[in-house]
Amino acid sequence: MNKLHIAIATNNIDETIKDYTGRLGVAPCSFVINEYALWRTESLNVSVRQDLSCKPGELRHLGWEDSSAQEFSEDTDVNGIVWERFSAQQQADEINEIWPEANFVPE
């Protein structure tokens, strides 16, 4: 199954977690204090990252969580938007590599 992945920058991760938890109707399945949060719903995979190189609310990239993805890949569309394709485990591996304290295991 494919889930649309949306990655957004923030400058206030705590308020973003509160807001997006209400909007998505579920708490993040992974978060790193002052850094990162990830929500996985039936149809969406949304990540928010404290990223000072981006404006708050700026799209970092789009993509697909794809259970059949053999490896992580990315390409850029005609509008300059980066699109990633990855499995849930590949995303977990990336999260745990960047933030070992996350200990994220996808359901």
* Tens-level pLDDT at each residue, the chain (107 residues): 699 999 999 999 999 999 999 999 999 999 999 999 999 999 999 999 998 889 999 999 999 999 999 999 999 999 999 999 999 999 999 999 999 999 999 98
Query: What are the structure tokens assigned to 34, written together?
Result: 């002052």
Per-residue pLDDT at 52: 86
Per-residue pLDDT at 107: 81
Is 107 part of any domain? no
CATH code: domain of residue 92? 3.10.180.10
Is 72 part of any domain? yes
C-alpha 98/C-alpha 53 separation (Å) is 17
Residue 52 domain boundaries: 2-102
C-alpha 60/C-alpha 81 separation (Å) is 8
